[in-house]
Chain A
Amino acid sequence: MKRATLSILIVAGSLATLMCAPLVGGRDIPLTAVFQPGSDDAASVIFWQIRLPRACLAWTAGAGLAAAGMVFQALFRNPLATPFTLGVASGASFGAAVGVRLGLGAAFLGLSAVSFCAMAGALLAIGVVYGLTVLKRDCSIGGMLLAGVAVNFFFSSAILLIQYTADFHDTFRILRWLMGALQMVGFDAPLCVLPFVAAGALLMAVLVGELNLLSVGEDLAASRGVAVGRVKALLFFSISMMVGVIVSVCGPIGFVGLMCPHICRLIVGADHRRLLPAAILFGGAFLVACDTLARTAFAPTELPVGIFTAFLGGPFFLWLLLKPPKGAKVAA
């Protein structure tokens, strides 16, 4: 199939998934409830106030996580790199755990205090990794990856400590947050995440040429005219911020940033000019589809979407790890 046809299919498929997902669920939604909404019509309220915002949040978060995964894989030149590589997710989780433990309950702009704590935790993790690169000016990509691993371990231990000292109720709330979830009412949450994802996507769109060159090597990128240090710092910081905001609202939903860019590479190729829109569209649709399955597969019980993506992502990760390099057979 031609790449153009496939690209059209991705666009159509992504939009169709976003539009159809809110219609699916434990209660049927008649189309009249969609097009002639009424405040006293339960189906209409479920569609407009619960399912559609949830699908929009899933799409926005999935798009952001997939695009971030694409950027991290290019910058680290490592197919297993994910948006959480620099410890952003564990920092956010630590922030959320602190918020729960302190019993913070206030909300602002539709977001809970726990979400704001998670955002602060994500920023703290980014700050630690960036502090290291500032202190150690010649810090390599490998050094940053290791710093991310160290930050992950540190925050994971801190979360365990908080859970150990918390009561049963708080421990359950922390655990529930760590599973990643998209349940909310109204459009506040998607509207909070959207500007960050849009700004991140715009930055990536501006820097697709740089991403192509950085993915083949920093020396080569510099020799082609890329201001490597500046571009890397800009991408790391802004994309980590974007991921931090997504994680603070949705919890640490893993593997979307790992799977989606790889699947899109198989479809549209590695050139980031095509890969970026494909990853955004596919990532958005992927998380919407996962969330729809998570809330309907065992209805009326809803599974946290993070569990669902991890079930898919685990085997995918192992496949990536075990599959032979593409050129190994041909170029030998």
Chain B
Amino acid sequence: MSEPALEIESLSFSVRGAPILRNISARIGHGETWSIIGANGAGKSSLLKCLMRIHSGWSGRVQLFGRPLESYSQRQLAQRVAYVPQPGGDQRFPYTVREFVRMGRYPYAGPLGAAHPGDKAAVDEAIARADVGRFAARTFDTLSGGERQKVFIAAALAQQGDILLLDEPTAFLDYRHQAEVFAILRAINRDTRTTIVAVTHDVNAALLAGGHVLALRKGEVAWSGPTRDLACEKRLGRIFDARFRFLDDPESGLRLVAPQGAAQ
């Protein structure tokens, strides 16, 4: 197994007394790809937000590259971990794509917001990797949903973190844009050994991503293991409270799934 990038031990989180996450533990190795799956309300997005310290007040122990998470300042954390929020909501930002991607360099800004010498190169590289160069001068609010998602990824890449946390990166995207986002993430993981942790409720997306899976159900770990072992009727049924049909894909050699309805 790779050296640990992120070690989560007994992480619990509640909102006004209502438990959202209970005793979550996982060991995510450097350079690995992880999918966090589960039904709506399972606590997937909350887990990412706890790790990014967007949510505070959680308990448990989280080690980031061998150091307790709480020992990092928010800026130091942002230099190691980048986050791509869930698509949707009000995203009519009046910034150009380049301006928005440049905001990813905030953790490296000097006193009074002084630019870091590596800013321009990092922004150029992020724009190239996420393939958003052809609309870099356009404002964010003129982009389609798929283009916006790629810009969010570019801004996260500009942070030059070692871990990329993505919340439903392909939600609401058409097939072409889904494929483009997957290709970008695969290339990032392959070329820069960035650890990818993506939340998804799409089992096939997790199967195609490969790597490892952390499955949550009602705020608890329902199953964790290699993605290749996920496509099991009993296992998926327990995670999603649903029935699945399995389809063998000769091209990828994977067993993909099709939902069949609620569990009986």
Chain A residues with CB under 8 Å of chain B are 77, 205-206, 208-210, 212-213, 215-220, 222-227, 265, 269-271, 273, 325-327, 330-331
**Shortest Cβ gap from A292 to chain B (Å):** 31
Q: Does B251 contact A (CB under 8 A)?
A: no
**Shortest Cβ gap from B54 to chain A (Å):** 5
Query: How many Å lie between the Cα of A212 and that of B93 in the bound state?
Result: 10
Could you say which residues of chain B place their CB within 8 Å of the CB of A270?
A: 93-95, 99
Q: Which 10 residue pairs spanning A and B have beta carbons closest together?
A: A327-B141, A225-B78, A223-B83, A225-B75, A270-B94, A225-B107, A330-B142, A209-B113, A224-B106, A222-B54
Q: Does B239 contact A (CB under 8 A)?
A: no
Inter-subunit contact B85/A331 (CB<8 Å): no
Query: How many Å lie between the Cα of A216 and that of B83 in the bound state?
Result: 14
Inter-subunit contact B78/A223 (CB<8 Å): yes
Inter-subunit contact A223/B54 (CB<8 Å): yes
Q: Count the A-B residue pairs with Cβ separation under 8 angstroms: how many?
A: 90
Query: How many Å lie between the Cα of A126 and that of B76 in the bound state?
Result: 33
**Contacting residue for A216 out of B73, B82, B95, B107, CB 8 A:** B95
**Shortest Cβ gap from B44 to chain A (Å):** 15
Query: How many Å lie between the Cα of A223 and that of B156 in the bound state?
Result: 9
A-contact bits for B75-110, CB 8 A (1 contact / 0 none): 111110111010001101111100110011011010
**Contacting residue for A327 out of B52, B100, B143, CB 8 A:** B143
Query: How many Å lie between the Cα of A206 and that of B112 in the bound state?
Result: 5
Inter-subunit contact B95/A271 (CB<8 Å): yes
Inter-subunit contact B94/A265 (CB<8 Å): yes
**Shortest Cβ gap from A213 to chain B (Å):** 6
Q: Does B10 contact A (CB under 8 A)?
A: no
Inter-subunit contact B106/A217 (CB<8 Å): no
We find that the number of chain B residues with CB closer than 8 angstroms to chain A is 39
Q: Does B12 contact A (CB under 8 A)?
A: no
Could you say which residues of chain B place their CB within 8 Å of the CB of A225?
A: 73-79, 106-107
Inter-subunit contact B139/A206 (CB<8 Å): no
Inter-subunit contact B99/A226 (CB<8 Å): no
Q: Does B49 contact A (CB under 8 A)?
A: yes
Query: How many Å lie between the Cα of A269 and that of B159 in the bound state?
Result: 23
A-B contact pairs, 8 of them (CB 8 A): A216-B95, A217-B85, A217-B89, A226-B74, A269-B95, A269-B96, A271-B99, A326-B142
Query: How many Å lie between the Cα of A212 and that of B113 in the bound state?
Result: 11
**Contacting residue for B92 out of A208, A227, A265, A326, CB 8 A:** A326
Inter-subunit contact A226/B106 (CB<8 Å): yes
**Contacting residue for B141 out of A217, A222, A226, A325, CB 8 A:** A325
Q: Does B53 contact A (CB under 8 A)?
A: yes
Task: For the A-B complex with A77-B90, A223-B83, A224-B107 known, give 8 more contacts whose Cβ atoms are closer than 8 Å.
Answer: A208-B113, A212-B99, A225-B74, A269-B94, A326-B141, A327-B140, A331-B141, A331-B142
Query: How many Å lie between the Cα of A271 and that of B141 in the bound state?
Result: 14
Could you say which residues of chain B place their CB within 8 Å of the CB of A271?
A: 95, 99
Inter-subunit contact A325/B79 (CB<8 Å): no
Could you say which residues of chain B place their CB within 8 Å of the CB of A220?
A: 83, 85
Query: How many Å lie between the Cα of A222 and that of B92 in the bound state?
Result: 19
Inter-subunit contact B142/A327 (CB<8 Å): yes
Closest B residue to A265 using CB positions: B94
Closest B residue to A224 using CB positions: B106
Q: Does B144 contact A (CB under 8 A)?
A: yes
Closest B residue to A209 using CB positions: B113
Query: How many Å lie between the Cα of A330 and that of B143 in the bound state?
Result: 7
> If A205-B112, A327-B142 touch, does A224 touch B93 (CB 8 Å cutoff)?
no
**Contacting residue for A222 out of B53, B79, B89, B96, CB 8 A:** B53
**Shortest Cβ gap from B183 to chain A (Å):** 23
Query: How many Å lie between the Cα of A213 and that of B104 in the bound state?
Result: 9
Closest B residue to A205 using CB positions: B112
Closest A residue to B76 using CB positions: A225
Could you say which residues of chain A place their CB within 8 Å of the CB of B76?
A: 225
Inter-subunit contact B93/A216 (CB<8 Å): yes
Query: How many Å lie between the Cα of A326 and that of B100 in the bound state?
Result: 17
Could you say which residues of chain B place their CB within 8 Å of the CB of A219?
A: 49, 54, 83, 85
Could you say which residues of chain A place their CB within 8 Å of the CB of B52?
A: 222-223
